[in-house]
Chain A
Amino acid sequence: MNMTRTLLSRLLQGLALVLAVVVLNFLLVHAAPGDPVETIAGASGGMSDELKAQLRSQYGLDQPLPVQLGIYLGKIVQGDLGFSYFFNLPVAGLIAERIPATLLLVVSAVLAAFVIGTTLGVLSARKPNGLLSQTITVLSLVGFAAPVFWTGIMLVILLASVWPIFPVSGLRSIDATGGGGARDMLDVLHHLVLPALTLGLVYLAQYSRLARASMLDVLGADYIRTARAKGLSNRVVLYKHALRNAVLPVVTILGLQFGNVMAGAILVETVFNWPGLGRLAFEAVLRRDYPSVLGVLLFSSIVVVVMNQLTDLCYRLIDPRIKTS
């Protein structure tokens, strides 16, 4: 009962939040200088007055902003994301087509970063001043501090040009027909390595730093001393008593990151020409393709809200002390 009520109130909170985000996005996107018709005129190498006016009225851009907002909200409520000005295709379709690519990239990058990062962090917490710990610290800091696009370009130069082990960009080979067979999957995996590595490196650093710090923190706690005093082996103390608590903040970050990983994905997808949502969002902004930008932003805000709720739920599973608050 209590649980249901919490969930329901969470759901309502989430909806209100998403609505606020939609309105804010709408205003922000329209505040950018220039408009979509100007961009289409640019892509066409010039355009007449009449044609521009015609496009403006076709897209409803000749209406006052509040009216446009009202129309947009009305459509959103009905689940209609509108038509892309630039591609003249339904936004929902454009987004749906690109979700799998982004999901694949983000999930593999974050999971790899989580597993490897946490392991490295825990390892380095065992001997905080040892050689291994120092090395991991330096590498994590470099990974964290280097801009994503730089890491990406360096990896491409090294592993796609100097040693052409991996492809330069894209999701599949240029002449691939897709289809989802074993060969196609291998092709996609081959293309996935560099972008996932690039995106993962940033998060890997965060996880390893966080896991290390929180492990060290926990290891100083009273109950660990108690456990050791009981005569438990170092292994049991570390992995059974300490790790479970130490991993809690890491899970928080994991949850939050699945939501905001879009920011990193935009850069990585652009560098690697990865046909995902990030690149769609980036290009839509450059074209002032309002419906596409708003569609992607709406989608990612829903992801953030949902992920936050799931993180909360995960807390309860890992730490039974957290009930409802």
Chain B
Amino acid sequence: MPVSLPFARRRALAAMALLAAAIAWPAAAEEPKRGGTLVFGSTQSPRHLNGAVQSGIATALPSTQLFASPLRFDDKWNAQPYLAESWSLAPDGKSLTLNLRRGAVFHDGKPITSEDVAFSIMAIKANHPFTTMLGPVEKVETPDAQTAIIRMSTPHPAIVLAMSPALCPILPKHVYGDGQDLKSHPRNSTNVVGSGPFRLVEFKPGQRVVMERFDKFFIAGRPYLDKLIMNITPDTSSLMLSLERGDLQMLPFASVPTDLQRLAKNPQVQLTPAGYEGIGALNWLAFNLTKKPLSDVKVRKAIAHTLDKNFISKALMAGFAKPADGPIVASSPFAVNDLVRYPVDLKKAVELLDAAGYKAGANGERFKLSIDYLPGADDQQKTVAEYIRTQLKKVGIAVEVRTSADFPAWAKRMATKDFDMSMDSVFNWGDPVIGVHRTYLSTNIKPIVWTNTQSYSNPQIDDLLNTAGGLLDPVKRKAYYATFQKVVTDELPIVFINQIPYHTAASKKLANVPTSIWGPMSPYDEVHFK
């Protein structure tokens, strides 16, 4: 029944509305356009859509749209409120208190409570492949529906970054807490329920993920887009064509130099390298330290001195890649400049090899080595491996480039240490505890790809990393990582080559292309068409 307001009150209301409109005017002028369908491309196929039990780019892209996390991050590594309105890390670094937003609901309409947060964090700890991320977490206390306190056995500053959208999706306990194994839970692929800005409409494995605007998303008025489609096409050139034709409006993780050149020239396309600081993708040359002569640091240094990273970045990567000189990607707050560097110097390389006792034979050859490379990204890997071969020939090292048929074949060689040298691409994943420690800790020498497959072992490094992982004060923590970076670049289990030139290409019609530290692996609630 319509209620007629008394005249005076109506006038007052009208005046208030006018006043509100006047105050809101500047914001209203920039009110983004609503609606539209954003189609973005991916060459990788997600196994399923639940980022709580599956890491990697492929799952993170849709998972960060479907599931909300306690915190999100801006482009300067600052935590921002998301599901949690406020948070505080205890002075002893052993507990993180999250104060959740009131009134937030899951896609099925049920409220999000601290119980869901507690369930999700323990589920991630038990199932997520990155075990160091929540390693010290013991339990999550839930004093009331809006408060969750994460208790840890040791100080663990990485816990704040671990609350990111890509790493900490909050699952509804009433859906995923039914006792079934979470890694193979049927609701990871069908009928997915999260609380992110978009909800699932259709997931066709290996083909596409269709998502639509969630009307009751906890940030009022967002998202701006009506629909989001992730188009999975294994072939980069098809995706490029589709972007040029306008079938796609966004292509994240573009890294092939020739593609980037083409995209940079396209007047319809905006191209940005921002948004890949968090993932921190490095391209490097790894040595197998258990094999002679690579067990000799002089030999490794000699090899480093033959490589012109500037040539690799400028010529091989068409100027799109930045050279990398250390284990922590330059965009990380823990990266330092004081590293041992190896400028190109073939004479010095020869001296080092002579000093190591590997004199040139009658045919000028000192010894033979093989080099493997990660298949699937020839522009980042194979090309550089071929370049290394020609450079090492100049100093008397005969290199055979070994091809692997596909990823599993290469991964097996790494896991079983059946290699001399290998090109590799490894991600920092935000905090060094997640993506850096694993490569250098002697306790992580395991028969698994992307562990310490170099068999690098130095007690000092183990100490430095283990201590740094538990230091709350960022300045002190950085000091430990500084020493670590210096020692690693001096002992050289790995020659760092370049940062993978990931770019996001998008139609110029698109505004607010995601450029926070997690870039395309963060919610697209602010993205809109112009």
Binding site for B on A (CB under 8 A): 32-36, 38-52, 55, 58, 86-89, 94, 97, 153, 156, 160-161, 164, 167-170, 174-175, 270-271, 273, 275, 279-280, 283, 285-288
Contact = CB atoms under 8 A, between A and B. Distances in A.
Contact of B47 (A43, A58, A153): A43
B32 interface: no
A38 B206 CA distance: 19
A41 B205 contact: no
A158 to B, nearest CB: 12
Interface string B190-219: 000000000000001111100000000000
A33 B449 CA distance: 14
Given A33-B409, A287-B408, A45 B429 contact: yes
A175 B39 contact: yes
Most buried by B among A39, A40, A44, A287: A44
A64 to B, nearest CB: 19
Contacts of A161: 241, 244-245
B471 interface: no
Interface residues of B, number: 56
Interface in B233-255: 233-235, 237-238, 241-242, 244-245, 247-248
Interface of B: 37, 39, 44-45, 47-48, 54-58, 127, 129-131, 183-184, 188-189, 204-208, 227, 229, 231, 233-235, 237-238, 241-242, 244-245, 247-248, 405-412, 415, 427, 429, 435, 438, 446, 448-451
Contacts of B183: 55, 88
B56 A48 contact: no
A55 B129 CA distance: 12
Contacts of A174: 39, 208, 229, 231, 242, 247-248
A132 B227 CA distance: 54
B429 A34 contact: no
A288 B110 CA distance: 39
A72 B233 CA distance: 31
Nearest to A88: B184
Given A39-B411, A169-B242, 17 more contacts: A41-B448, A41-B450, A43-B54, A44-B56, A44-B129, A45-B55, A45-B57, A45-B435, A46-B130, A47-B448, A49-B448, A58-B184, A87-B205, A161-B245, A168-B245, A273-B238, A275-B204
A203 B187 CA distance: 44
Contacts of B44: 43
B229 A51 contact: no
29 contacts: A32-B405, A34-B406, A38-B408, A44-B54, A44-B129, A45-B55, A45-B429, A45-B435, A46-B130, A48-B131, A48-B448, A50-B131, A51-B129, A87-B48, A88-B183, A88-B189, A97-B204, A160-B241, A168-B238, A168-B245, A168-B247, A174-B247, A174-B248, A175-B37, A175-B39, A175-B229, A270-B234, A283-B206, A287-B408
Given A35-B408, A88-B184, A94 B205 contact: yes
A48 B441 CA distance: 14
Nearest to A51: B129
A86 B408 CA distance: 13
Nearest to A280: B206
Contacts of A170: 231, 233
Contacts of B205: 87, 89, 94
Nearest to B39: A174
Given A168-B242, A174-B247, A45 B446 contact: no
Contact of B451 (A46, A87, A164, A270): A46
Contacts of A167: 247
Given A48-B129, A279-B206, A88 B446 contact: no
A279 B206 CA distance: 9
B448 A52 contact: yes
A47 B128 CA distance: 8
A49 B447 CA distance: 8
B235 A271 contact: yes
Contacts of A36: 408
A156 B245 CA distance: 12
B235 A273 contact: yes
A179 B527 CA distance: 29
Contacts of B54: 43-44
Most buried by A among B207, B233, B427: B207
A44 B183 CA distance: 12
